[in-house]
A and B are shown apart, each in its own frame.
Chain A
Amino acid sequence: MKDDAQADIEEAVRPLRERTWYRFTVVVAALLVFGGVKLPIERGLNEEYREAFFHGAKLNLGLRQQIGQLGFLAALGGFRAVVADGLWIEAHAEWTRTEWGKMLFIFNNVTALQPRNVMFWDMSAWHMAYNASAAAAQDMKVPRMALRLKHQHEYFLIGKDLLERGIANNPDRYKLYESLGNVDRDKLADHCSAAVAYGSAAKFADAPTYEKRFAAYELSYCPGHEREAYKELLRLYRLGEKEWLPTLMSRLKYLQETLNIPATERIKISDKELAPHH
């Protein structure tokens, strides 16, 4: 009796079960077919985004260990910028404690999360090349001056490295080239590299007009490139009075003398037109 009732129930439920399985199969098949259609579209779009410099963040296991599981999950879940900002605030707190090592560690994570954010690269490099280097030079816990200067130089190079990595991720923007030029000029006294960096910045349509001048100034300090620098400075000079700035006039006068330019070809530059340090 009980078995009969059970069998009746089974009989009644069977079509329902079959219909459920049928629906399940059709839904899965439809999703798979649609998946096959959308897959090349998604791949194509991803390629186009990569070409437009989107989605360049490198979310790998190394980063996961450094920013923690929750941060990594948030970054994967589409909140990369917020996680990067949180870390940036943390770096700011470390700055107030002058913890330069921790700051660099955080900067590497921030820039890995937001490689297209020029400000993060620029500020990170500035902290290392200008602030951390100055602190290292004045660190009296290190008794030997030579060692302090070595540490200072290492921070210059860290700043430069951050800028070079930033440029590799943002080759379409002038700002980091300019900052690289500043570090090369002001910290490493590498005028040849500074000229190249300013020259690269000057090629961008939205770059300030001073980039061209800076490139020419730095080239004038680069041994073996005096003639090239003279031509460029002369070209700028001939653009009109707005270009006759004290540094330009000083460098032009210096090169005229160094290159022994004939007196008839020389531009007459009075002392009051020169930069004070000339």
Chain B
Amino acid sequence: MEITPVKHVFFSPARIWAIATNTLLELVRLKVFYFLLIFALLLIGSSAFMIEFNFQEQFQLLKDVSLGAMSIFTWLLAVLATAILLPKDIEDRTLYTILAKPVPRFEYLIGKLLGVLLLLLISTLVMSALFVVALYGRQQMVISETIRTSAGTPPEQVQEMLRGIKASTFTFSLIPGIAMIYVKAALFASLTLFISTFASSTIFTIMVSVACYFIGHLQGIARDYWLGSATTGPLPRIFLALVALVFPDLQLFNLVDDIVAGNSIPMVLFAKTAALGGLYTCVYLLVAYFVFASKEL
């Protein structure tokens, strides 16, 4: 029997997909989804605690707590799951097995990142579903309570009240906010992957990534000071310029606070911000590849 040699392709989506699904499977085996239980408990707990507030306050608090928790969990998951990828593969020697095959290093990195992005996507979708269920449950309770207490009220007025309740719960304007939570987490996964390519330990990667998170939220202030005329002296200006140029402006991705407050985001603006998030993710991945390509393994 004649064996025809398989021609090696420079870039193979199938190879990347294989690495991505394996990465996802590895992370799932680490029982990372257990945090969803904490999220669910948080939702139930906060729902029960809010009974003494009026319905507007209840929905406001429930939405803020849920979306805040989603934001924290996705960010933590992005940082922690990505930070362990490379060290774990080196420790398990899986990295050497993979790279000994004709798998280019950039495919390996893309596959790893894609695995984390899939994990983040599943987590965001599950948390969103839990959030919608909790919000709907609360809405039904408030509606039945309103109907019970408004006996004798003109039907038009009752309808107006019910409309008000429904308008305070889930609105489609929340979807871009949730999507932006995911975009921000994806950016962080990519940034953490970049850090882990030169980091000496997992702890170092996590620490630097957390520091980047806080600096990134202050980047806007640094940029305004740098470009404004308020700051004098070359040293502070150089420092501010470095912060403004090197770090991402993470405040741009914090949309849920204002969306829950009733702001609606124009779709063009949402698309531009999501594109910027995607650009950051790609740039950090490219830089990570540059470091990883010549790394001594």
- The residues of A with any CB-CB pair to B shorter than 8 Å are 16, 19, 23, 26-28, 30-32, 34-36, 38-39, 41-43, 45-46, 48-49, 52-57, 73, 76-82, 84-85, 88-89, 92, 114, 116-119, 123, 173
Produce 1/0 per residue, B219-251, CB < 8 A to A.
010010001000000000000000011101111
Contact A54 B64 (CB under 8 A): no
Bound complex: CA A32 to CA B286 (Å): 14
Bound complex: CA A80 to CA B227 (Å): 26
Contact A53 B258 (CB under 8 A): yes
Chain B contacts with A in 156-190, Cβ cutoff 8 A:
none
Contact A118 B294 (CB under 8 A): no
CB neighbours (8 Å) of B220 from chain A are 42, 46
Given contacts A81-B64, A81-B67, contact A23 B291 (CB under 8 A): yes
Any chain A CB within 8 A of the CB of B43? Answer: no
* Minimum Cβ distance to chain A for residue B49 (Å): 9
Contact A76 B265 (CB under 8 A): no
Contact B287 A31 (CB under 8 A): yes
- Total B residues in contact with A, Cβ cutoff 8 Å: 52
Bound complex: CA A42 to CA B269 (Å): 12
**Nearest 9 CB-CB pairings of A with B:** A35-B245, A82-B68, A117-B261, A81-B257, A81-B64, A116-B261, A78-B254, A42-B249, A54-B258
Contact A92 B53 (CB under 8 A): yes
Bound complex: CA A85 to CA B53 (Å): 12
- The residues of B with any CB-CB pair to A shorter than 8 Å are 52-53, 56-57, 60-61, 64-65, 67-68, 71-72, 213-214, 217-218, 220, 223, 227, 244-246, 248-258, 260-263, 265-266, 269, 272-273, 276, 279-280, 283, 286-287, 290-291, 294, 296
Bound complex: CA A26 to CA B293 (Å): 13
* Minimum Cβ distance to chain B for residue A116 (Å): 4
User: Of residues A16, A32, A36, A116, which shows the largest number of chain B Cβ atoms within 10 Å of its Cβ?
Assistant: A116
Contact A76 B291 (CB under 8 A): no
CB neighbours (8 Å) of B244 from chain A are 35, 39
Given contacts A45-B269, A53-B258, contact A38 B279 (CB under 8 A): yes
Contact A54 B255 (CB under 8 A): yes
Contact A45 B272 (CB under 8 A): yes
Q: Which of A27, A43, A81 contacts B291 (CB 8 A)?
A: A27
Given contacts A81-B68, A119-B56, contact A39 B223 (CB under 8 A): yes
Contact B68 A76 (CB under 8 A): no
Could you pull out 6 A-B pairs where Cβ atoms are within 8 angstroms? Answer: A53-B263, A55-B251, A78-B71, A79-B68, A82-B68, A118-B262
Contact B276 A78 (CB under 8 A): no
Contact B57 A123 (CB under 8 A): yes
Write the chain B residue with the least CB distance to A55: B251
* Minimum Cβ distance to chain A for residue B137 (Å): 19
* Minimum Cβ distance to chain A for residue B73 (Å): 12
Contact B262 A117 (CB under 8 A): yes
Bound complex: CA A32 to CA B290 (Å): 15
Bound complex: CA A1 to CA B294 (Å): 33
Contact A42 B67 (CB under 8 A): no
Write the chain A residue with the least CB distance to B213: A77
Write the chain B residue with the least CB distance to A92: B53
Write the chain B residue with the least CB distance to A173: B262
* Minimum Cβ distance to chain A for residue B218 (Å): 6
Bound complex: CA A43 to CA B257 (Å): 20
Q: A42-B252, A76-B214, A85-B60 are in contact. List 15 more A-B contacts (CB 8 A).
A: A19-B294, A34-B283, A39-B223, A43-B223, A49-B269, A54-B255, A78-B254, A80-B254, A81-B256, A92-B52, A114-B261, A116-B263, A117-B261, A119-B57, A123-B57
Write the chain B residue with the least CB distance to A116: B261
User: Of residues B72, B227, B251, B294, which shows the largest number of chain A Cβ atoms within 10 Å of its Cβ?
Assistant: B251
* Minimum Cβ distance to chain A for residue B105 (Å): 14
Contact B260 A81 (CB under 8 A): yes
CB neighbours (8 Å) of A19 from chain B are 294
Bound complex: CA A184 to CA B265 (Å): 33
CB neighbours (8 Å) of B223 from chain A are 39, 42-43
Write the chain B residue with the least CB distance to A115: B261
Q: Which of A38, A52, A73, A89 contacts B269 (CB 8 A)?
A: A52
Write the chain B residue with the least CB distance to A27: B287
Write the chain B residue with the least CB distance to A73: B214
* Minimum Cβ distance to chain B for residue A268 (Å): 28
CB neighbours (8 Å) of B67 from chain A are 81
Bound complex: CA A88 to CA B65 (Å): 13
Bound complex: CA A181 to CA B218 (Å): 39
